[in-house]
Amino acid sequence: MLVPGTASQSLTTILADMTGRSLTVPEYERFADGEQKVAVPGFDESQATIVAATPTDETFIELLQLQDAVREAGASLVTTVIPYLGYARQDEAFSRGEPVSARAVARAVSNATDRVILVTPHEASVAEFFAADTTIVDASERLSIPLPNDLVDPVFLAPDANATSLATETRDAYGRGVVDYFEKTRDYDTGAVTIEPTDTPVDGRDVVLVDDIIATGSTMAEAISALHNRGCKRAFAACVHPLLVKYARSRLAAAGATEVIGTDTIERSESMISAAPVIADVL
Pick 115 or 186: Cβ nearer ligand R5P: 186
Give the shortest CB-79-to-ligand R5P separation in angstroms: 27
Q: Active-site positions?
A: 184
Q: Which is nearer to ligand R5P, 71 or 89 (CB)?
A: 89
CA separation, residue 81 to residues 95, 99, 119 (Å) = 31, 24, 8
Between CA 44 and CA 186 the distance in angstroms is 49
Which 16-35 residues touch ligand R5P, going by CB under 6 A? Answer: none
Q: Is 86 exposed, middle or buried (0-12, 13-18, 19+ CB in 10 A)?
A: buried
Rounded least distance, CB 213 to ligand R5P, Å = 5
Task: Give how many residues touch ligand R5P by CB under 6 A.
Answer: 15
Q: Within 128-273, where are the H helices?
A: 164-174, 218-229, 248-255
Alpha-carbon distances of 239 from 8, 95, 225, rounded to whole Å? 17, 28, 17
Sign of CA dihedral 55, 61, 64, 65: negative
210-249 residues in contact with ligand R5P (CB under 6 A) are 211-219
Which C-beta is closer to ligand R5P: that of 43 or that of 181?
Answer: 181
Q: Does 45 bind ligand R5P (CB under 6 A)?
A: no
Smallest gap from Cβ 252 to ligand R5P, in A, equals: 9
Residue among 43 and 182 whose Cβ is closer to ligand R5P: 182
Please say which residue, 162 or 168, places its beta carbon nearer to ligand R5P: 162
Q: Of 59, 78, 79, 83, nearest to 240 (Cα)?
A: 83
Site mask for ligand R5P (CB under 6 A), range 61-90, x = bound: ----------------------------x-
Give the E-state strand segments of the chain in sequence order. 2-4, 27-30, 36-39, 47-51, 77-82, 115-119, 133-137, 155-158, 178-181, 183-186, 193-196, 207-214, 235-242, 259-263, 271-273
> Which residues ranging from 119 to 178 are in contact with ligand R5P (CB under 6 A)?
159-160, 162-163
Using DSSP's 3-state secondary structure scheme, residue 221 falls into helix
Rounded to a whole number of angstroms, the minimum distance from the CB of residue 251 to ligand R5P is 9
Rule CB under 6 A: which of 85-114 touch ligand R5P?
89
**Residues at the contact surface with ligand R5P, assessed by CB under 6 A:** 89, 159-160, 162-163, 193, 211-219
